[in-house]
Amino acid sequence: MSIDSVEEKIHQKLDLIKKKDHEINAFIEVYEQDAVNQAREVDKRIKEGKAGPLAGIIVGIKNNIAIKGKLLTCGSEILKTHHATYDATVVKKLKEADAIIIGSLNMDEFACGSDGTYSRIKITKNPLDLERVPGGSSAGSGAAVAAGFCDATLGSDTGGSVRCPAAFCNSYGFKPTYGAVSRYGLSDMAMSLDQIGIISKDKEIVKKVFSVISGKDEKDQTTQLAENLKKEGEIKRIGIPVEFFESIDGRIEKAVRSRIKELESNFEVEEVSIPTLKYTVPIYQLVMAAELSSALQRYDGLRYGLAADRNDELYSAFANVREHFGNEIKRRIMIGTYITMKEFKDAWYTQALKARERMKIEFKEVMGKVDIVAGPAMPMPPWKFNEISDPLQLYAADTLTIAANLTGLPALVEPLSDSIFDGAIQFYGRHFDDFILLSFD
């Protein structure tokens, strides 16, 4: 523990944020007074020897995770002025562990995006190169860590939305096993894919935070198996799927292969193949869109957010509110609605579900032979703003991260150097091997 009190540390961070964030735009809200008050409390508890395991750790929270009384915009127009009425489970746990929650972080609208430019609130920049994107959809979470505003940030990861900004901002990014961390309080994007993840420059901090926020929660029934999280285990064999190296930026491939070479001295490294990876993006697009259209049905302007016009006829009132979704959201809602209609279900959605099962089986087979698989985290370095306008190109950026969400496997992204152009390496572990994955090497 440094000689600075937590309160002093908070003031340092707040000053840095005041100085730099107007350029970077990582934050939606900075909880200046709350953070200072919390810091004082924590200092007291440290003196009394009663401090929680995260005492002194400063955390930023992606703005789709509910903090009672604070703005929960989800990066959208519709929730621009909505304040959450309760704390997400992970937020409760962080507070109980004496972490300081310093503010809420910018994101792509309803977590749909890979570079942060789909936020309806502001555009976040990559602190390592202000002309480039920080990654998405947890854009602010990546940027805040890279800029030194937070020790760690929470994001949400549905197809790579924690690992992409981590890679682009040269930090560790971790997506837990599906069901290891409670999603209660996380606004849904795709319920069977979403997990709350952690970004930090320090892997030990990632592990500490994960330790606090993971665990079974009666308010999220999909965490029933969280007690299966293994405390110990060994990594001996690493598999390198050939499919992970298709169409990768040359410099990134070089850096990743070089890292793998280093690993060969301590681990058995072998090439493997997971053929269904070829279909990663289409499977994801269909499954995600179907679940997203369901997740966003609740936004009708009656209970929270942008209000429906009382003088309107019923369905017009709903439509007029939902008109305020961004184009990308509308696109995905339409696709999701279309493919889940009776007439079209078997042509698209059912096939995607079958392919997803196939992918799970293939991964299970491979993970029976090796303990983790490795490859690049992102196929290209962070692009410049406005460099990519075609949504299909953007979707392809997720091609290496999505499989972890489709299978529910835990995945860790590790920066390779100080340069964002070297990219990052990504490791997938077995279900509930999270602690092992965070400890190896």
Partner 1 sequence: MVELRDGIKVKIGLEIHVQLKTSSKLFCSCPTDYRDKPANVNICPICTGQPGAKPMGLNSKALEQLLKIGLALGCGFNHDVVVMRKHYFYPDLPTGFQRTSRSIGYEGKLGKIRIREIHIEEDPGRYELRQGTVDYNRAGVPLVEIVTEPDMESPEDARLFLDELDAILNYLDAGRDEPGSLRVDANISINQQTDHGLIEGTRVEIKNINSFKGVFDALNYEIVRQNNVLRRGGKIERETRHFDESTGSTVSLRKKETEEDYRYMPDPDVPPILISEDRILKIKEKLPELPRQKAERLEKQYKIKQDGAWILSMDMNLAKLFEELVFKVESKGVIIDAQKIASWIRGPLKKQLNYRKITYAESCLNSEWISDLLVMFFKDELTDRGAEQVLIAMIDKKENPREAAEKMNLLKSKDQGEVERFVDEVLSSQKKAVDDYLAGNEKSLNFLIGQVIKATKGRADSKVVKELILKKIKKE
| Interacting residue ranges for partner 1, rule: CB under 8 A | 64-66, 72, 74, 79, 82, 84-86, 88, 183-188, 191-192, 218-222, 224, 290-291, 294, 296-300, 302-304, 310, 314-315, 318, 337, 340-342
Tokens 């990546």 identify what position?
142
Q: What are phi and psi of 278, to 5 degrees?
A: -55, -30
Using CA atoms in the order 173, 176, 181, 183, what is the torsion angle rounded to 10 degrees? 70
Give the residue with the Cβ less far from partner 1, 65 or 394: 65
CA distance 227 to 244: 31
Nearest approach in angstroms of CB 84 to partner 1 is 7
Type and span of the H or E element at 196: strand 195-200
Q: Which residues pair with 181 in a beta bridge?
A: 214
The one catalytic residue in 62, 125, 175, 201 is 62
For the question of residue 62 being annotated catalytic, the response is yes
Q: What are phi and psi of 425, to 5 degrees?
A: -100, 150
Give the residue with the Cβ less far from partner 1, 209 or 321: 321
Give the residue with the Cβ less far from partner 1, 112 or 420: 112
Q: Is the distance from CB of 194 to CB of 112 less than 8 angstroms?
A: no
Distances (CA, A) of 230 to 2, 204, 211, 286, 436: 31, 17, 12, 32, 7
Which alpha helices (DSSP H) does 85-231 contain, by range? 89-96, 139-146, 163-168, 203-213
The one catalytic residue in 138, 141, 161, 171 is 161
User: Quick check: helix, strand or coil at residue 318?
Assistant: helix
Nearest approach in angstroms of CB 322 to partner 1 is 10
Give the residue with the Cβ less far from partner 1, 221 or 258: 221
The one catalytic residue in 114, 137, 138, 171 is 137
For the question of residue 316 being annotated catalytic, the response is no
For the question of residue 161 being annotated catalytic, the response is yes
Nearest approach in angstroms of CB 226 to partner 1 is 13
Q: Which residues contact 364 (CB under 8 A, 6 or more apart)?
A: none
Q: β-strand 268-272 against 237-241: which pairing, if any?
A: parallel
Give the residue with the Cβ less far from partner 1, 172 or 184: 184
Q: Is the distance from CB of 214 to CB of 97 less than 8 angstroms?
A: no
Type and span of the H or E element at 150: none
Give the residue with the Cβ less far from partner 1, 124 or 182: 182
CA distance 114 to 101: 25
Nearest approach in angstroms of CB 175 to partner 1 is 17
Catalytic residues: 62, 137, 161
